[in-house]
Amino acid sequence: MIRLNTIHKPDPAMEVATLSKPYSPLQPVANAIERIFASDQEQTRAQKTRSIMGDLVADAADEELELYATEFQNLIDEWLDEFERQAFDHQTLKQVLGQG
């Protein structure tokens, strides 16, 4: 008579890996795509500006675009802070939420 062994014995050839993040079968594909295409974090502000504005800034130097983008971002931040102070009794949203 044949006797079946019902106890699972791990194969010693199989290595057990401890992962800090859950494994995703799509991770190798995501890694390849990240290597092919620059992420937003890897793009300079000048590259982002060029991709948005196209031919309008074709003749501008990167340094000039960086300067304009930085100045524009500062203006936006100031406008948003002023709006928030008007809306939230002289406090920004971060102050209202206790984060700033």
List per-residue pLDDT tens for the chain, 100 residues long. Answer: 555 555 555 555 555 544 456 667 777 777 777 666 655 566 788 888 888 889 999 899 999 998 988 899 999 999 999 999 999 999 998 898 888 6
Counting Cα atoms < 13 Å in the Cβ hemisphere of 68 gives: 13
pTM: 0.50
57 Cβ partners below 8 Å, 6+ apart? 49, 50, 65
Greatest C-alpha distance within the chain: 86
Instruction: Take residue 75 and report the two structure tokens written for it.
Output: 């203006």
Residues in the chain: 100
